[in-house]
């Protein structure tokens, strides 16, 4: 992050496991303090405002989303992490907390989520 006149913005939803993945990377890579984090609670007025703001730049609004340069928005956690890795010059695989979350915790959460969805649809 060499341009001191621009600060990237990260839009995250509370409770979102993919948003947490991006935040963990940024924290462990040592760049979280150089990113403006805009967090909201699902169903809040902030969510409505962020969706409206992002809707002008994205075909489909999802979270996490990052504004990496003026007018340059990126969605999808892995794409955001790749961008932050390039900026910070940090290899995600060399960050043990991030790596554990991304390769062990998150896949387990996703399995539980899918199982829960299957159970709900059966009721």
Mean pLDDT value across residues 75-102 = 97
Q: Where along the chain do its domains lie?
A: 9-122
- Please write the tens of the pLDDT for every residue from 5-63: 789 999 999 999 999 999 999 999 999 999 999 999 999 999 999 999 999 999 999 99
Instruction: Give the C-alpha separation, 39 to 87, whole Å.
Output: 22
Residue pair 87/31 in contact (Cβ under 8 Å)? The answer is yes
- Please write the tens of the pLDDT for every residue from 49-63: 999 999 999 999 999
* Three-state DSSP state, 11: strand
List all residues 6 or more positions away from 68 whose beta carbon is below 8 Å from its beta carbon: 8, 74, 83
Q: pTM of the full predicted structure?
A: 0.89
- Fold classification of 9-122 is Glutaredoxin (3.40.30)
């Amino acid at each position: 992050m060499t341009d001191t006149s621009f600060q990237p913005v990260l839009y995250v939803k509370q409770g979102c496991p993919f948003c947490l993945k991006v935040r963990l990377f940024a924290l462990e890579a040592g760049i979280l303090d150089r990113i403006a984090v805009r967090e909201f609670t699902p169903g809040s007025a902030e969510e409505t405002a962020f969706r409206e703001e992002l809707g002008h730049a994205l075909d489909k609004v999802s979270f996490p989303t990052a504004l990496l340069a003026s007018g340059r928005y990126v969605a999808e956690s892995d794409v955001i992490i790749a961008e932050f890795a390039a900026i910070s010059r940090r290899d995600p695989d060399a960050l043990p907390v991030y790596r554990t979350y991304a390769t062990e915790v998150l896949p387990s959460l996703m399995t539980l989520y899918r199982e829960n969805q299957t159970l709900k649809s059966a009721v």
